[in-house]
Structure 1
Amino acid sequence: MRNLRAAAACAVTLSLALATAACGGGSPTGGGSDDSPKTLTYWASNQGASVEVDKKVLQPELDKFEKQTGIKVELEVVPWSDLLNRILTATTSGQGPDVLNIGNTWSASLQATGALLPWDEKNFEKIGGRDRFVESALGSTGASGQDPAAVPLYSMAYALYYNKKILADAGVSRPPATWAELVEAGKKIAADGKQVLGAEGANPTENVHHVFVFAKQHGADFFTADGKPDFTNDNVVTAVKQYVDLMAKDKAIPVGNAEYAQNQSVSDFAKGKTAMLLWQSASANLKSQGMSEDAYGIAPVPVQSGTPGAGAQANSMVAGINLAVFKNTDNLSGATEFVKFMTSDAEQKILNQAYSSIPPVGAAQQDPAFNTPANAVLKDTLAKSAVALPQVADESQFETAVGTAVKELFADVAAGRPVTEASVKSALEKAQQQMPAK
């Protein structure tokens, strides 16, 4: 997942309020049919360095599907800044695509609208069975105890990307394994005239992904066991402050990154301006921007101490993209066939190689192409130290509210205003007040 608009919170609330009355797709009857057996509309998320890159990756595969089935797929690649709002508008208007990509962390929220086709055992059998997918990926497909709202398409994890030459020139012998080591390495890198760590302070989604991991490392959750928001507990405040302090106190994140949005920090890293980057499965993006794979290394995201693992040693959220079908599509059988095609072993290898992600389909994941050193770090993270974001109906509002709160705290740093425990708690309290009442 990447970027969201702050306005998404209002749209999500509206969609949930109307969930029983509306669902997306093209059928005015509100139920799936096969009135348009030869056409499908598909909203793909922007996975590559640009929309044009995605079109070049996807169109040959869609042409292949048409040749095999006779079904033409009309593709639209939707930027992350627009995708959630577009989906929510479709759920309330009843006018949307047949098939679409969703960020896996939105699964429970979109499931609650009632707009998406549930993937019960019968539907899973149509695409080869539920057991084809790895369990960690299925854990981010909807609320516990309910049939998934989507099926996994691409699996990703965060890693620490580091410029080998910049670190070596600064006398840093290995990538930092803890945040304290990163701060110390950053002092040497900064003294050598380079920027230390790229971030996207104006990108709410990137912000919330990072502070979620910091919270886990401090033994904290943003929600109580019964699903109520708990954004202002002491450990969450400590976690958010530690992340913002990478700019405010430690001077690791450049102040200018407070205004960075989608992909700007990746571009800086690719151009050799920044020594390190925290990103999801970035290799394909970096390659498309001209950075040689020999120029950088990939290491696990740092932890507070020790090595990554479960519990407080978590170092990534379970990132990824799911594939969903609007329940009232005009081509239900074709949409199901398309999902089967996109999650087939062969297509999973092609698509996940193109996006440097990991196939959530077990058989495809075993292909030698996914046993590179870079993929080894990502696969190990997904297997041992990644944690799914809360699979609650209000998850989308949580991402927007907390991610925007962190964005505003970074803006405070850029404006020269102090960031204190009190100001962090106040920002999180404001975010919590934006959540729907229970």
Structure 2
Amino acid sequence: MSVRARTAIGAVIGATLLAVLPGCGGGTSTGDSGGNSHPKTLTYWASNQGASLEDDKAKLTPELQAFEKQTGITVKLEVVPWSDLLNRILGATSSGQGPDVLNIGNTWSASLQTTGALLPFDDQTFAKIGGKGRFQESALASTGASGKTPTAVPLYSLAYGLYYNKKMFADAGISKPPATWDELVQDGRRLTTGGRYGLAVEGANVSENVHHAFVFAKQHGADFFDASGNPTFTSPGAVEGVKQYVDFIARDKIAAAGNAEYDQNQSIQDFATGKAAMLLWQAAGPNLQKHGMKPDQYGVAPVPVQSGTPGPGQNIDSMVAGINMAVFKNSQNLDGALKFVQFMTSDAEQKKLNGAYGSIPPVKTAAQDPAFSNPELTVLRNTIATSAAPLPQVPKESQFEELVGGAIKDLLADAAAGRPVTTQSVQQRLAKAQQQM
């Protein structure tokens, strides 16, 4: 989904999507309904990518001022927390009271595409921002349903990596990071001692849960939807994958029971403060350093696979994470909105913004800058290029995140409470989620 998407998606998603009025867009803040009365003003909803809303404002404001200096267009910025963002967007698509330009989690692209409220980026529209060929193919795969005209463009790209504490590994006599899940569990058991744990997870975060469930299911040869977009939550591979993830607390006990309640970056803090030796995360570097951990204290490796090395097919080891940028098609300043998208996806801004957030530019030429070649970003960049896959781009993807992520949250809570988690109980939870779809 996103660089910092660490909170649950609202449970009203399905009902709100059903209530959406196709074709209603944003932009009312730029003028009244009589036309483009304020062509020199835009409203931008930015997602929370930094350590706080204030941190985002500090990073974005100088860039928006540079855009104003170039174009004469003032951008009114609102940074929206992840706990509110999707519901705010859905409310805007149904009411018409929204911004001109906005950020969306890339996993929401197909769901929001069905509202009809976002501007389609056909070849002619892409040409206005420099052309479709500038963007990484894997990032473009998360801009809308397959075979349909995208309604967003990539802004920030990410993938998951395995972060490990070098000193804790050395103290435990472990010479290298695990490459398979069996190795991770073995290492995790050696590292779980003295009140410290081998792994930190964010168990009450439904989005985190879904991201990992997707990868585990892929590695077991399964997916959560068939080719027609129908849910297949109870397939053997999906059930096995979810159980393997829940077992980090339930059976393997390499993650603390209290992790089942984490949903606000607590796992980042546990890793940074030495309470856990490993962490599965997207571009954790800036946050770890904010918590006082120095870059030479941690290493980054590809997320493990069942066997072999990361790659396509059953060795997918990350979802294609990131942020997309979209335009409400009813904006009263479409020309200005597209100029702003062009500015934000320019090579210069891609280097500045992705550098500030620890993410990777989805613009090919910007990603080649040496600034994105440090050990951490090299691992993540290679993952995006070779072993990441987009979450299902289906209209009900947002509901999938809420329902399956919620089912895993409940299973982790069972594990933390000492209640047995079995293949049957996992299947029952996923069956209930599938029925709710």
Amino acid aligned to 1:343:
T
Summarize the Cα distance change of 1:234–1:306 in structure 2 as closer, same or farther, 3 Å threshold.
Answer: same
Aligned match of 2:112: 110
Rounded to whole Å, the distance in 2 between the matches of 1:126 and 1:335 is: 11
Aligned match of 1:245: 247
Aligned match of 2:309: 307
**Pairing partner for 1:397 from 396, 399, 406:** 399
CA offset at residue 288 of structure 1?
Answer: 2.4
**Pairing partner for 2:275 from 270, 273, 276:** 273
Is structure 2 residue 74 aligned with structure 1 residue 72? yes
Aligned match of 1:92: 94
Cα offsets for 1:77-122 (capped at 9, x unmatched): 1111111111111111111111111011110000000111110111
Rounded to whole Å, the distance in 1 between the matches of 2:34 and 2:310 is: 45
Amino acid aligned to 1:155:
S
Contact 1:41–1:73, Cα closer than 8 Å, also in 2: yes
The alignment partner of 1:60 has SS state of helix
Residues 24-423 of structure 1 aligned to structure 2 (within 5 Å) = 24-26=26-28, 34-191=36-193, 193-423=195-425
Aligned match of 2:6: 3
Contact 1:32–1:330, Cα closer than 8 Å, also in 2: no
CA offset at residue 71 of structure 1?
Answer: 1.3
Contact 2:201–2:280, Cα closer than 8 Å, also in 1: yes
Cα offsets for 1:41-86 (capped at 9, x unmatched): 1111111222222111111111111111111111111111111111
The alignment partner of 1:191 has SS state of coil
The alignment partner of 1:125 has SS state of helix
Summarize the Cα distance change of 1:16–1:120 in structure 2 as closer, same or farther, 3 Å threshold.
Answer: farther
The alignment partner of 2:118 has SS state of coil
Contact 1:195–1:275, Cα closer than 8 Å, also in 2: yes
Contact 1:100–1:325, Cα closer than 8 Å, also in 2: yes
Query: Once structures 1 and 2 are overlaid, which stretch shifts more, 409-418 or 354-363?
Result: 409-418
Report the TM-score when normalising by structure 2. 0.96
Rounded to whole Å, the distance in 1 between the matches of 2:211 and 2:34 is: 35
Aligned match of 1:13: 15
Query: Once structures 1 and 2 are overlaid, which stretch shifts more, 420-429 or 338-347?
Result: 420-429
**Pairing partner for 2:25 from 16, 23, 26:** 23
Contact 2:109–2:151, Cα closer than 8 Å, also in 1: yes
Contact 2:30–2:333, Cα closer than 8 Å, also in 1: no
When the two structures are aligned, how many residues end up with a matched partner? 434
Rounded to whole Å, the distance in 2 between the matches of 1:342 and 1:16 is: 32
Rounded to whole Å, the distance in 2 between the matches of 1:321 and 1:139 is: 12
Contact 1:119–1:148, Cα closer than 8 Å, also in 2: yes
CA offset at residue 422 of structure 1?
Answer: 1.2
Contact 1:121–1:129, Cα closer than 8 Å, also in 2: yes
Rounded to whole Å, the distance in 2 between the matches of 1:351 and 1:163 is: 27
Summarize the Cα distance change of 1:285–1:392 in structure 2 as closer, same or farther, 3 Å threshold.
Answer: same
Contact 1:33–1:328, Cα closer than 8 Å, also in 2: no
CA offset at residue 361 of structure 1?
Answer: 0.4
Contact 2:182–2:306, Cα closer than 8 Å, also in 1: yes
Rounded to whole Å, the distance in 1 between the matches of 2:49 and 2:229 is: 31
Summarize the Cα distance change of 1:245–1:340 in structure 2 as closer, same or farther, 3 Å threshold.
Answer: same
The alignment partner of 1:115 has SS state of coil
CA offset at residue 32 of structure 1?
Answer: 11
CA offset at residue 12 of structure 1?
Answer: 3.7
The alignment partner of 2:259 has SS state of helix
CA offset at residue 287 of structure 1?
Answer: 2.0
Amino acid aligned to 1:107:
S
Rounded to whole Å, the distance in 2 between the matches of 1:154 and 1:314 is: 20
Rounded to whole Å, the distance in 1 between the matches of 2:390 and 2:353 is: 23
Summarize the Cα distance change of 1:336–1:12 in structure 2 as closer, same or farther, 3 Å threshold.
Answer: farther
Query: Once structures 1 and 2 are overlaid, which stretch shifts more, 245-254 or 72-81?
Result: 72-81
The alignment partner of 2:412 has SS state of helix
Query: Once structures 1 and 2 are overlaid, which stretch shifts more, 423-432 or 14-23?
Result: 14-23
CA offset at residue 211 of structure 1?
Answer: 0.4
Q: Which runs of 5+ in 1 are unaligned?
A: none
CA offset at residue 326 of structure 1?
Answer: 0.9
Deviating beyond 6 angstroms after TM superposition, the runs of 4 or more aligned structure 1 residues are 27-32
Summarize the Cα distance change of 1:65–1:163 in structure 2 as closer, same or farther, 3 Å threshold.
Answer: same
Contact 2:135–2:362, Cα closer than 8 Å, also in 1: yes
Summarize the Cα distance change of 1:233–1:113 in structure 2 as closer, same or farther, 3 Å threshold.
Answer: same
Superposition CA RMSD, Å: 1.8
Contact 2:27–2:333, Cα closer than 8 Å, also in 1: no
CA offset at residue 379 of structure 1?
Answer: 1.1
Rounded to whole Å, the distance in 2 between the matches of 1:261 and 1:174 is: 29
Contact 2:10–2:83, Cα closer than 8 Å, also in 1: no
Q: Which runs of 5+ in 2 are unaligned?
A: none
